[in-house]
């Protein structure tokens, strides 16, 4: 079962996403609804910290919802993002396949922890 956390910090203008475990379609739909709710209060130009460190490859039925989530983040005005990558190469391959070409690679950095992601965003010029 997939576990997630989605929250927007208006003071920092940051969206925090944490995906962990194996997502079935029902998990993906629930997390997508939570994302939509948080994005409804986010103003364009926000940054994203995406913690995928414990994310597992999702079911085929959930994979399309990953793309929809990325599209929502993009159309809502995402500026930059820092990803904490899954230790499973197959999970990152799936994610990269679903969002391929959606984001400019110059707006993405990688970190090993949320704390490091915060530091990257705080110092990003």
CATH architecture of the domain with residue range 3-115: 2-Layer Sandwich (3.30)
Q: Where are the beta strands (DSSP E) in the chain?
A: 3-9, 14-21, 46-55, 78-84, 108-111
63-79 tens-digit pLDDT: 888 889 989 999 999 99
In this predicted structure, the answer to whether residue 95 has a pLDDT above a threshold of 90 is: no
> Considering only CA atoms, which of 74, 57, 78, 65 is closest in space to residue 34?
65
**Residue 21 tokens, joined:** 């475990």
Query: What percent of the chain has pLDDT above 70?
Result: 100
5-47 tens-digit pLDDT: 999 999 999 999 999 999 899 999 999 999 999 999 999 999 9
Q: Give the span between the Cα atoms of 82 and 108, in whole angstroms.
A: 6
Query: What residues does each domain of the chain span?
Result: 3-115
Parallel, antiparallel or unpaired: strands 14-21 and 3-9: antiparallel
Query: How much is the pTM?
Result: 0.89
């Amino acid at each position: 079962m997939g576990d997630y956390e989605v929250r927007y910090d208006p003071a920092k203008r940051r969206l925090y996403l944490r995906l962990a475990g194996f997502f079935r379609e029902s998990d993906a739909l629930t997390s997508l609804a939570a994302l939509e709710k948080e994005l409804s209060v986010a103003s364009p130009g926000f940054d994203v910290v995406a913690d995928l460190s414990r994310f597992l490859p999702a079911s085929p039925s959930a994979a399309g919802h990953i793309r929809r989530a990325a599209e929502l983040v993009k159309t809502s005005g995402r500026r930059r993002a820092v990803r904490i990558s899954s230790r499973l190469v197959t999970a990152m391959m799936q994610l990269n396949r679903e969002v391929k070409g959606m984001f400019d690679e110059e707006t993405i950095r990688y970190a090993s922890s949320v704390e490091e992601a915060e530091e990257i965003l705080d110092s990003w010029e």
